[in-house]
Each structure stands twice: as C-alpha cells, then as structure tokens.
Structure 1
C-alpha cells in the first residue's frame, strides 16, 4: 500500500481525540476487516465519525473529512460476536481521497499538526479558566468521572487540555467534530470556555431544582408522618373514651 494509506474505521456517536485510550466495540464486517488490516500491517487505524449514526454501511460520503490516526493496542473477541478494540488516539488527519471501499474502507490521509504558538500570559489564563470551569463541571455533575479531571490537571499543553475536556464533556457529535477540526489550541480553548460556562450554569440550575424537589419531598414525608401519628393518637384516645 502507498504511504499514508490507512484502513478506515467508521464510528457512530463518538469522536476519538489524540491522547485518548478507549475500548471500541466493533461489530460490522467492514469495521472488523479494517481493524484486522491495521493490526496485521502494524499500521495506524484512521478513525472517522459518521455524519449520520443510523447508516449501517457508511461510504466515503457519509464520513467527516477529518479523523484521528490511532494505534491498535489490543483486539479481544467477545462471546456475543462483537470485538473489543483498545485504541490510542495519536494524531489528527485530513482525508485526501478514499482508495478503497470494499471489503473495507481505506483512505490516503495527511497527518495534521496542531498550530502551536507561543504561550503568552493570555493563553495561560485561558488554560486556567477552562480547567477551573471543567473542575466545577466535574464536581456538579454525576456523570463526569474524577479521573478525567486528574488527566486534565496533568495536561501541560493547551491542545492536550482542550482535547481532554472535549472528549469528556457530553457534547453533540457535530460540536466535538468542530473541535477536532480546529488546529489552533487557543481557539479550541476559547470555544470550550463558552461551552463550559453554559454547562456550569445548567448544572447549577439542575442541582438547585433537585435540591428544591428533595426538600419538598422530605417536607411532604414529614407532614404525612405527622398526620399518621395524629391519626393513631386520635384512634387510641377514641378507644380509651369508649372503654371509659
């Protein structure tokens, strides 16, 4: 195969970022063949998101043009017939052209480098602001793992920090893809700071509503118990009056 020609794994409802180490469950025949080809050739797998998750056999026109080159670390067969593939995201890549569609997709792609710039104080401030907002999100949310916060705190590069946050937040696929396609780390962080601020606002409101509901439930329970106690007392008093 030509240089920079990679097996393509189309994925649904997820975006793989550089630095991510995640298991993917693969069941479609063309996906299994792509994983097998990458594993046997010991070459990166180009992971690209589908535009529409419902499409069962995606073609070139059904995929975004930017994906992530990933190393295949482990392939494990599952009893239900699917395959678990442990992958490690390495680098963004732009698809130049598809070179094969059957029995699995292959594409020639150009690896993309983040547009690294000097780190002026404003960029350091942006990193700290995003990290602080992300920490708030993790503490307010029941769905964001503490491990993600630890990873973010250890991310010493602006682009890496942005990718960690983007991969953890529950964002629509289109928004994640937009961040994947943004090569300048400072722009990624600026976009994420806006999304994080909105998420914090929503989570704070959600927690406030949950607290109010819980207080109302507890109040109703207390009132119910008091009414039951009064009913029992009145019943006992009634029996005593009858006996007298």
Structure 2
C-alpha cells in the first residue's frame, strides 16, 4: 500500500462528516483539474503539487471563491497540456483546504475529495477546462453479516500488509482500525494501493459496493503475496551474506593462529608450492593439471 502528488495524509472521516458530504449539492459546473499519477477518492485528503500555468490559475481562481473544483486523473502522465480527451470522465469534487506557495515556483495544495461526478459537457478549455457535471449517487448500504465480514477482511489484510512493509508508518494500521464507514474504508485503502492509475480509476468508477470490495481484496491479496516473496528473498540474501562474512572471519582467525604458531598460512603454503613447482621438469599436461588444482 502507499504521487505526482505525495503521500496520503492519515485523516479520517467521521460518519457525521460522511453524511454531511452526501447531502451537499453538486454544482452544475466545475473547473476541471487534471492530475498526473493520482486518483482522488471521496473523503480522502491528499497534497498535490501544481506546476502548470493552467492549473495554477485554476487553483488561484477557485481559492478566491468557493474553493470547490473537479479533480480527474489523466490517462497518460506523458501529456503536459491535457485536453478533455486526455482525462477520465469520472472524477471527484474536491474542497481546497489549504494552498502553499513553494520556493521553486510550484504550488502545493491540500485537497479533500467529496463526491464522485461524471463530466457531462465541456464548456471551454481556456484558460482551463470548465464542464457541466452529473453527480454519481452512492447507494446506501444495508448492515448485514456479509458487510461486516467484508469490512473485517479488508481491515485484517490491510493491517497485515502495513506490518509487513518497512516503508509504511505504523499509524496507518491504527487509522484503518478506527474507520467506521465501509465506504470510506474502501476509498482510503483504494487511494493507498500500489496499483496503476487505470486500476485505481476502475475502483473509483465502480458503483456497486460489493464489486468494489472484491476488487480491493484482490489487489490487497496480490500485494500481500508480493511482499511475502520480497521478504523471503531478502531473508535468503541476508543468510547468504551472513555465511560469507562468517567464513571470511574464520579464515582470517585461522591465518592469525597459524602465524602465531609459526606455521605457514594457506596462502603462504600455496606460494611455496608454486616456487617448488618452478624447479620441476614436468610436461605441459602435468603442469596444467597442477596449476588447475592449485587454483581451487
């Protein structure tokens, strides 16, 4: 589990905040901000780095007003000036929490995803993309044993992966355990999965909760297997290195002991044998065989 944009903030969404978010009205029009390498999910708070002129103007304009924008992922990170065909049609309404001007000229913006939308019609592309949008309504979940079992499985597998990975903060497992909302749990885990933008976009666009949960569990299971394999390889390499270091240390000790006792070290004995061999009148075959054995 886990940018153009940086790591996730561990910020949890309470059930009350989620209900309030669901009840917010979706604007008919939104300024659309394309992101490289990042898919924003509802409820999740992330920092993004804004460097393109169009994006900086969009953020500045929105920050002076309602601080609400539409965030979509780019289909390819290689496109520097994306047009409507270069971005996914399903995105997330975002609230700009904070904006920071950086010394390098870029702008870092803290945003929180609100709810999903689908682009309906492009109104203009200059100075940035403006579009009409339709909200995507989340279906209310019915509490039952299957839902409880799904949530439990998601939390257990995520926590196990966090403990297995040395690069993930331990606070992440505490955050996972304290998430009460099944939908936000899915969004939080999806946002932090080590998968492609296209795979995250598939999760974002999936409407049915059970389908999304199944996809997330599949990704988590694959990630767990990869981590187990990496850890096994790391352990084997460490054992091999430890054995080499131990053998080297023992050989050095043996040489020191032999020198203290006045005995020749193995290296010295080999050198003496080479010197004596020079005085022998062997044919080429015998000389080659001797040299080969001495080199072992």
TM value normalised by structure 1: 0.93
Distance of aligned partners of 1:183 and 1:52 in 2 relative to their CA distance in 1, 3 Å threshold:
same
2:98 is matched with which residue: 68, 74, 90? 74
The aligned residue for residue 183 of structure 2 is: 159
Q: Using the TM superposition, give the Cα deviation of residue 78 of structure 1 relative to its aligned residue in structure 2, in angstroms.
A: 0.5
Distance of aligned partners of 1:202 and 1:213 in 2 relative to their CA distance in 1, 3 Å threshold:
same
The aligned residue for residue 88 of structure 2 is: 64
Q: Using the TM superposition, give the Cα deviation of residue 116 of structure 1 relative to its aligned residue in structure 2, in angstroms.
A: 2.1
Aligned length: 238
Equivalents in 2 of 1:38, 1:197: separation in Å? 40
The aligned residue for residue 146 of structure 2 is: 122
Is the CA contact 2:159–2:176 (under 8 Å) kept in the aligned structure 1? no
In structure 1, the gaps of 5 or more residues are none
1:135 is matched with which residue: 159, 164, 171? 159
Q: How does 1:138-217 map to 2 (within 5 A)?
A: 138-217=162-241
Residue deviations 1:32-90 (CA, integer Å, cap 9, x gap)? 11111221221411111000000000000000001111101111111101001111111
Distance of aligned partners of 1:111 and 1:148 in 2 relative to their CA distance in 1, 3 Å threshold:
farther
Aligned pair 1:98/2:115, yes or no?
A: no
The aligned residue for residue 47 of structure 2 is: 23
SS at match of 2:261: helix
SS at match of 1:93: strand
TM value normalised by structure 2: 0.77
Residue deviations 1:208-244 (CA, integer Å, cap 9, x gap)? 111111111111111110111111222222279xxxx
Equivalents in 2 of 1:53, 1:178: separation in Å? 17
SS at match of 1:238: coil
Q: Using the TM superposition, give the Cα deviation of residue 170 of structure 1 relative to its aligned residue in structure 2, in angstroms.
A: 1.0
The aligned residue for residue 36 of structure 1 is: 60
RMSD of Structure 2 on Structure 1 (CA): 1.5
The aligned residue for residue 29 of structure 2 is: 5
| Segment drifting more, 44-53 vs 110-119 | 110-119
Aligned pair 1:234/2:252, yes or no?
A: no
Is the CA contact 2:70–2:92 (under 8 Å) kept in the aligned structure 1? yes
Is the CA contact 1:144–1:169 (under 8 Å) kept in the aligned structure 2? no
Residue deviations 1:160-198 (CA, integer Å, cap 9, x gap)? 111111111211111100001112222211111111112
In structure 2, the gaps of 5 or more residues are 1-26, 265-296
